[in-house]
Amino acid sequence: MAYQKALAALSDPTRLAVLERLRAGPMTVGQLADGMPVSRPAVSQHLRALKDAGLVRDEPRGTARIYRIHAEGLRELRDWLDTFWDDALARFKDYAEGEKK
């Protein structure tokens, strides 16, 4: 279940911060590490965890690797979260229809 890996990866505040930074667009490890309270190697480790969870992708560009958010990985997480909303709406509908009777 992909959403479980994603949730586990995002439970770390640094990984969440890295993902938030990637919202601005693709970046190198150096760009991501700039201004963060962790070292560049630590950011690389966090990126590896995010990649393993399917939340980021990377591609080589010259001697650097460019990281970006992987939309499909986020979509799988969102689809799982949407099931909670769908269940809540269904219960509300049942409740509202029961009140009419």
pLDDT at residue 1, rounded to an integer = 63
- Cα torsion through 88, 92, 95, 98, rounded to 10: -130
Strand partners, 27: 67
pTM for the structure as a whole: 0.82
CA distances from 9 to 3, 17, 47, 53, 95 (A): 10, 11, 10, 7, 36
Domains and CATH numbers, the chain: 2-100 (1.10.10.10)
Model confidence pLDDT, tens digit, residues 44-94: 999 999 999 999 999 999 999 999 999 998 998 889 889 888 888 888 888
> Interhelix angle for 40-52 vs 13-22, to 10°?
80
